[in-house]
Amino acid sequence: MSDKYWADVDINMVPDMRVPPPGPKSREYHARASEYMKGYSSQVRLFPVAFDKGHGVTLTDVDGNEYIDFSSGIYVTGLGHCHPKVTEAVQKAAATLMNAHDFTTPIKMRLLEKMADVAMGTGENRLSGVQFYDGGTAAVESGLRVCRAASGKSEFISFHMDFHGKTMGAVGCGRLDPSQGLRAPGFFLAPRGNCYRCAFKMSHPECDLYCVDYLRTVIKEETAGRVAAIVLEPIQGWGGSVVPPDGWLQKIRALCDEHDILMMADEVLTGMARTGKMFAMENWDTVPDVMILGKGLGNGFPVTAMLVSDRHKHLVEKISASTSYGGNPMACAAALASIEVIQEENICERATHLGEVLMNRMREMQVCHPIIGEVRGVGCLLGIELVKDKDTREPFEEAGRLVYQKAFTKGVAWIPAWHILRMSPPMIMQEEVALKAMDIIEESIPEVEKEYGYQ
């Protein structure tokens, strides 16, 4: 694998912190914007910096500080900011045709054929039925409707701490804040396969994946026996980069087949080479009936997709699936260019290699630091879980916030999640740059440990 990347940076020049962040311009811009914009993410609330530009694996704020991007815009720009091929494709499309509703365009035709080329599955299980959207939530909602149409049933089972979007059906599949009222009827949640925090206090592999067997109880005792689909993230993102135990996805697939239930995989976050495979489900050789793609599909341009197996794709016609912006020429150009870059630049291999390097480093950190309970990840989807005690595993949320802020101040732009530190570097990142970002994170952890009396 080549060590040359399209956006190599001088390791001695990044990060480049010229003023203590958030700097005066960042504070001014954020204050002015906050007069009108509401509902910022925890990322911004904890560190309200204003970004001006990005190139490759770096971000520059309005005060001139340059950061190592360890977030990829939260799993979006995996090919780096402003990848020249993606940028050129979008520019060309924008100068040619911006929107034609859901009519066929040459660029859409080429994208559909490319997606069929890389699709999972064979025969009637091949995921070759496609519809495009401009947001992950819309694609998820469409997937739920397809599952209902295909099964003739109306209920869904999903998992604790999974995240699927921010509209009624998608919210029903995830954690629900009490302020949002009641969960929509027909949506049921079950414990996820999370061995570090097993809801059943069991140990893998001795448990024989009891968490999957428990779904039979959910179906029998909680539902009306009309389950259309089991909906899941192959690897949890918002929930903390939680990787399922081997066999979990395969056993769920078998349970779905046994009960005539569809399997819907939400790969908005995990797809497009992030885990070292084009789709995360490939890591477990498991093909769902419906798959949702987004984030990295357009490397920053808003484009998402719902993929449906050949067996059920004719039913997409029954759910009024088209949208005003889905599949517009600019979006299709961005997605096609992104898939081509993944193939041409061997991004899956790069993600696998970089992930192995970073996981090895994280394991070394885990041994040295009393507040690191677990490190985990697949490819360039990584997480560090902070605890107050390694034996009790009590979550250490205060430390999570502080480590996030301290590392950000030193020049690493990344992702918090309570007591879990999430990392999703661009897959094109040089190994030495990624390790330098990890150095900064490790420098920040003992500072927090000292504040809480661990040294």
Domains and CATH numbers, the chain: 24-37+50-79+347-451 (3.90.1150.10), 87-344 (3.40.640.10)
- 124 pLDDT exceeds 70? yes
- 2 pLDDT exceeds 70? no
pLDDT tens digits for range 141-173: 999 999 999 999 999 999 999 989 888 888 888
**Pairing state of beta strands 66-69 and 412-413?**
parallel
Phi-psi region of 15 (alpha: psi -120 to 50; beta: other; left: phi over 0): beta
pLDDT tens digits for range 54-108: 999 999 999 999 999 999 999 999 999 999 999 999 999 999 999 999 999 999 9
Percentage above 70 pLDDT, the chain: 99
CA separation for the pair 307, 316 (Å, rounded) = 10
- Centre a 10 Å sphere on the Cβ of residue 282 and count the other Cβ atoms it contains: 16
The per-residue pLDDT for 428 is 96
pTM of the model as a whole: 0.95
pLDDT band at 274 (very low <50, low <70, confident <90, very high): very high
CA separation for the pair 317, 308 (Å, rounded) = 12
Cα-based distances in Å from 291 to 53, 114, 142, 307:
32, 16, 11, 5
The per-residue pLDDT for 225 is 96
pLDDT tens digits for range 396-406: 999 999 999 99
CA separation for the pair 195, 242 (Å, rounded) = 9
pLDDT tens digits for range 366-375: 999 999 999 9
Average of pLDDT values for 388-394?
A: 97
pLDDT band at 181 (very low <50, low <70, confident <90, very high): confident
Length in residues, the chain = 455
- 1 pLDDT exceeds 60? no
Distance from chain centroid for Cα 445 = 24
CA separation for the pair 208, 243 (Å, rounded) = 17
- 18 pLDDT exceeds 90? yes
Average of pLDDT values for 215-238?
A: 96
